[in-house]
Structure 1
Amino acid sequence: MPERNIEFGKYGARGVKGHEAVARQLDDLAGYIATPVTARRGLQARLHYLTRTTHAREAARAAGLTITDRTPRAWTVGTRTPSRKNLERIEQAYRTVRRENVARYLTARLNRAGRGTRVEIHPLNQSQVDRPRQRAMEFRTMNVRRWERIVAAWAAGDERELDEAWVDPVVHLGSQ
């Protein structure tokens, strides 16, 4: 993988690292609430998601949302408003809990009973790289059959493990 042995974007190439692109795509597949947490509707939807079951409340506390049980009710009714810091905590806790809840479904969906999922690999944008330093790159596709480790790292929010897990299936593509 080029980002592992050279300075990523050193000569002006633009793009994202493979594991970051995978994380973005998995985030899209997770189907988060579209309304921002700063809007009343978005806040209420997230609070409902985080407080509707005992498991969700425990997961929210484990994700860093440390509030009493009365506080979300006051926020929902509108007698109090959460601070900016609490809004960030609510958003982070919601995303963490959502990832944990969706991980098993995504793994099954992407594995497709052993058939795997086709992945498109697009080259970096080299328009800003000087001509002698540009590399010949082409669009590639591959079929990833084992998504367990990738999805588990994404669900845990472990970027280093996600990078390691993503390199395993794509290492055979070469340095492009």
Structure 2
Amino acid sequence: MPERTMEFGKYGAHGIKGHEAVARQLDRLTGFIATPITARRGLMARLHYLTRTPHAREAARAAGLTVTDRTLKAWLAGRRSPSKQNLQRIETVYRTVRRHNVARYLTSRLNREGRGTRVEFHSLNQSRVSRPHQRVVDFRTLNVRHWDRIVDAWSTGNDAALDDAWVNDAVVDLGSQWGQYENVTNIGFAA
């Protein structure tokens, strides 16, 4: 069984870790608010999402939104604007809460009652690698049936757990050459 790649890019290959590509794809499926937080509309949409119910406010506080209720009301009324630091904090809290809220739905959609979801592995880019050092790495597909640990690690933002779950629950099923797909240019799937 192959070991993990220790010196990725030594000969010029480039790509990203597979779990990072999976996290990007899960973020796309999540459907975050498209308007940037720097626009008034984007800020209001995020604040309404985080404060519309007592449960949402509690989740926002647990995720790190530590401003007072008075400050939140002033932001919502437009009497005050958050600082750049608070804008970044609001964005981080919003993404954390949104991931948590959609995790169960995504897990259900990706598992599809045991049928799983087809995943496309687009191999790493070897355009900068000299000919003698290039290896044959083909486009591969795989039906991943167990998404629970993957989505759970993604929703909590734990990169190490996501990497471990992605490699052990999905990539090793590619067979003896799974190490060639640890780093990729893209991973595609839909829910």
Q: TM exceeds 0.5? A: yes
The amino acid that maps onto 1:85 is Q
Unaligned runs of 5+ in 1: none
Please give the root-mean-square deviation of Cα atoms over the aligned residues, in Å.
Answer: 1.4
Deviations 1:119-173 (A, max 9, x none): 0001101001111111111000000000000000000000000000000121132
Q: Residue 44 of structure 1: CA displacement? A: 0.1
Higher relative contact order (CA 8 A, sep 6+): 2
Q: TM-score, normalised by structure 2?
A: 0.89
Q: Residue 56 of structure 1: CA displacement? A: 1.1
Shift in alpha-carbon separation, 1:12–1:2, aligned structure 2, 3 A: farther
Partner of 1:28: 28
- State the alpha-carbon separation in 2 of the partners of residues 130 and 146 from structure 1: 38
Q: Residue 3 of structure 1: CA displacement? A: 8.7
Partner of 2:116: 116
How is 1:67-82 mapped onto 2 (pairs within 5 angstroms)? 67-82=67-82
Q: Secondary structure at the match of 2:123?
A: coil
- The 8 Å contact of residues 3 and 17 in structure 1, kept in 2 or not, is answered as no
- State the alpha-carbon separation in 1 of the partners of residues 25 and 48 from structure 2: 25
How is 1:57-76 mapped onto 2 (pairs within 5 angstroms)? 57-76=57-76
Q: Secondary structure at the match of 1:122?
A: strand
- State the alpha-carbon separation in 2 of the partners of residues 105 and 3 from structure 1: 34
Q: Residue 2 of structure 1: CA displacement? A: 7.8
Shift in alpha-carbon separation, 1:155–1:88, aligned structure 2, 3 A: same
The size of the alignment, in residue pairs, is 176
Partner of 2:184: none
- State the alpha-carbon separation in 1 of the partners of residues 12 and 74 from structure 2: 51
- State the alpha-carbon separation in 2 of the partners of residues 69 and 156 from structure 1: 26
Q: Percent identity?
A: 72
- State the alpha-carbon separation in 2 of the partners of residues 172 and 49 from structure 1: 39
- State the alpha-carbon separation in 2 of the partners of residues 156 and 69 from structure 1: 26
Deviations 1:94-124 (A, max 9, x none): 0000000000000000001110000000110
Q: TM-score, normalised by structure 1?
A: 0.96
Q: Which has the higher strand share?
A: 2
Unaligned runs of 5+ in 2: 181-191
How is 1:63-102 mapped onto 2 (pairs within 5 angstroms)? 63-102=63-102
Partner of 2:148: 148
